[in-house]
Structure 1
């Protein structure tokens, strides 16, 4: 319906208007719109035609409150990161893109919220679920004794946890084998003659950070290397640069550094140049995730590479299986594998600083 300029705004078409046009009850319109049994095919077609004529569609909230026991068209994702930092973080951009690829197949959307702490996330997830704004959520950045797990189990939230099963409680999980990836990186660097291997890590409270730290310490100890040091950060380039300076200014600076993401490795490369060190002649660097950033630097960055897009897609697939009551088992995603490039080479004390054949 249109109005003359300056006239009253057009009235919103309601379910009552559709019922009147089709000559049925409001309940019949709700059944037809939500594809529920209880109306004949002829009546359903008449109702849908009336809705199309009037330009009416049921709201997502109305669908969720229809009592069908089915799912809404939205899933949730809460991430504890500052908005500006998230925009610079290649991992989450790729991970969310993978989720979105599955949502597109399912004709669903993503409700994303950024928070500062897990207590706030619990409040948000509880509100989303109890108001039926979402069908389920993907939980990320799991911690040891994560308070989200029991809190969200209690309210019956359908969810998939991105993290090792020992962190996920009763939720099905999908994870990468970070311990095996760290071991591969350390053994590679040790084979190049590096004995002082350090790491610029992430938040020490996160489960995958603790797994990587333990694997670094265990592997260097097994190989008889110098004690490894991990410096915690918030994953930002600024803290990655600060941690690199701290390590390189220490009495026994490392000859190789492993980073917990790509953006910190790029920052570390700049710090090495700032301090007059040549990469890889004086210092070898290994990034983590292997986004396009790793191939845009000079030298290009060696990296622990994995399919982050596929990781996000797999988390979304498992969540839809949970929502559809298929109870999927937990399972690992393909683990990161080492991709050597120009930033890693033989330790200077072992001979010529060039990449291995």
Structure 2
């Protein structure tokens, strides 16, 4: 294996002392500008990079930020949302020469342990936190550690947010980027109601997630505004997988009075639900309308093409990364709103059949 170049190698090649190399590479006085330029040129020729661990121990930044996903591992391989999110995050971090330390764990307790370890080892300068929970220990922990963080999809208050959904304890100390899930759900319900649907079911994601709670609350509030009875609109929770999405669809469609429209919390479940309907001989959209949360290629290539909420997930990731870099530069905690998801009607939604 090739040995990594050291300060000693640079000093030998440049014909200067090791202390002169240290002064030059750390922008400290003690060497002339001509010598500084020569040392930096030699360092570049040798491919030298600063040791992030040593810099962290000396009190300097590590040059990395962290992202931990506490999601069922089997749901990550088929869902495009996180791939697009990380793509946007990485785009911003790469431009600032900041590394992304990424880890998948089994639950939030394990994620908290990772954050404690990263803080103790000075592995990261800050973290991005996804999937805020209704009762979330992470904001309070990060605030106590003094580890800079940005909540992705969370609120910046410790009480119920303005849309009626729950907030995150301790989140007032942290910056947040979020999408307006409540308004997006209201748009979906309004679209289906205008088409004539009066029995609508929401196949939701993990029940402990704050954005799941906001969507469920918005659906209930919207139904009340539209004069729908409590038994006409409902939400059932899943783990976001195609397996649970399909199982929930079968249960809903097996009822004596099944829903005439289904809203799924991701594209994977929506496609799985469409397949279940086809297997049961239920026509989409003639007998059943389907809406997917977060558009993807899956929604556009399946038949019929699925009506979906369209948003730029990569831009959401870029916004989160930009906010974390701003926090690391000294910006005060704040909440930033991403672009509202836009409903794209396609062939999977239509007025319900009168006889169904």
TM-score scaled to structure 2, two decimals? 0.89
Aligned position for 1:354: none
Cα distance, 1:38–1:212 mapped onto 2, change above 3 Å:
farther
Residue 58 (structure 1) aligned with residue 50 (structure 2):
yes
SS in 2 for 1:349: coil
- Say if 1:160 and 1:171, in contact at 8 Å, map to a contact too: yes
State the shift of 1:62 in Å: 2.6
Would the aligned equivalents of 1:13 and 1:55 in 2 still touch at CA under 8 Å?
A: yes
- Aligned position for 2:349: 344
Quote the offset at 1:257 in angstroms.
0.7
State the match for 1:225 in structure 2: 228
Paired residue for 2:162?
none
Partner of 2:156: 165
1:288 positional shift: 0.5
Alignment of 1:183-202 (within 5 A): 183-202=186-205
- Give me the whole-angstrom Cα distance separating, in 2, the residues matched to 1:281 and 1:38: 79
Gaps of 5+ in 1: 1-8, 352-357
Q: Which residue is equivalent to 2:254?
A: 249
Aligned residue among 35, 39, 46 for 1:43: 35
Per the alignment, residue 321 of structure 2 pairs with 316
Contact 1:321 1:328 in 2 (8 A): no
Distance of aligned partners of 1:306 and 1:49 in 2 relative to their CA distance in 1, 3 Å threshold: closer
SS in 1 for 2:309: strand
Q: Residues 328 and 188 from structure 1, CA distance in 2 versus in 1: closer, same or farther, beyond 3 angstroms?
A: same
| Higher deviation after alignment, 159-168 or 182-191 | 159-168
> Match for residue 165 of structure 2?
none
Q: Does 1:107 align with 2:97?
A: yes
Aligned residue in 1 for 2:77 = 87
Q: Quick check: 1:32–1:44 contact (8 Å CA) kept in 2?
A: yes
- Which residue of 81, 88, 102 corresponds with 1:98? 88
When residues 37 and 156 of structure 1 are mapped into structure 2, their CA distance, relative to the original with a 3 A threshold, is farther
The 3-state SS of whatever aligns with 2:351 is coil
Across the aligned residues of Structure 1 and Structure 2, the Cα RMSD in angstroms comes to: 2.1
What 5-or-longer segments of structure 2 have no aligned partner? 158-167
Q: Point out the more displaced range, 51-60 or 138-147.
A: 51-60
CA contact (8 A) 1:201 1:235 kept: yes
Tell me which residue corresponds to 1:72.
62
Aligned to 2:21: 29
SS for the counterpart of 1:114 is: strand
1:128 aligns with 2:100: no
Normalised by the size of structure 1, how large is the TM-score? 0.89
- Assess if the C-alpha contact under 8 Å between 2:75 and 2:239 holds in 1: no
User: Cα offset for 1:309?
Assistant: 1.1
- How many residue pairs were aligned? 341
CA, structure 1 residues 84+144, in 2 after alignment: closer, same or farther (shift >3 Å)?
A: closer
Aligned with residue 284 of structure 2, among 268, 275, 279? 279
Q: Could you tell me how far apart the structure 2 residues matched to 1:34 and 1:84 are?
A: 45
3-state SS of the aligned residue for 1:110?
strand
Contact 2:174 2:333 in 1 (8 A): no
